[in-house]
Structures are given as structure tokens and as C-alpha cells.
Amino acid sequence: MEANSSMKVLGKRRPYSGGLDRMQGFFEMAVKLRSDQPFIPRGVYRFKSHEELDEWTLKMLTRPKAGPPH
């Protein structure tokens, strides 16, 4: 196949820089903060709107960790 001389290169791929490796500390902290409580509970949920979904998701992500029973 011949190269088209009118084609322009708009960007170049860069080699992988190991971005997830640099986030390891953050991931470990998140696991320690939530320990046994998942960020989003498992299950199937139905919402009337995207706004309702966003509100529920934010509530789940920011809810306090359950303490020991009294």
C-alpha cells in the first residue's frame, strides 16, 4: 500500500510511563480507609434520572464507615 502524501500526523504515541505504579500509595490508602466496606454496594439499582444516580453514588462514596455495634 502506498503512503498518501497528503496525510498529516497529529500526534505520536508515547511509551507507557507506568502511571498505575505511581498511584499504588493512593490505592493502598483507599483500601485501608474502607477496609471491609465496599465503595459501592453490590447489587442492581434503578434510578429515575442520572441526577438521582449521581446523588446516590456520592452518598455511598462519602458515607462513614460502620463502627462496631454497641
Question: CA 60 from chain center: how many Å?
Answer: 14
- Residue 34 neighbours by CB under 8 Å, 6+ apart: 65
Measured between alpha carbons, how far is 31 from 14 in angstroms, rounded to an integer? Answer: 31
Q: Does pLDDT of 14 surpass 80?
A: no
Q: What is the pLDDT of residues 22-70, one digit of tens each?
A: 778 888 887 787 777 777 878 899 999 999 999 998 888 787 766 555 5
The predicted structure's pLDDT at residue 11:
78
The pLDDT value recorded for residue 25 is: 85
CA–CA separation, 47 and 55 (whole Å): 10
Q: Between 3 and 6, where is the model more confident? A: 6
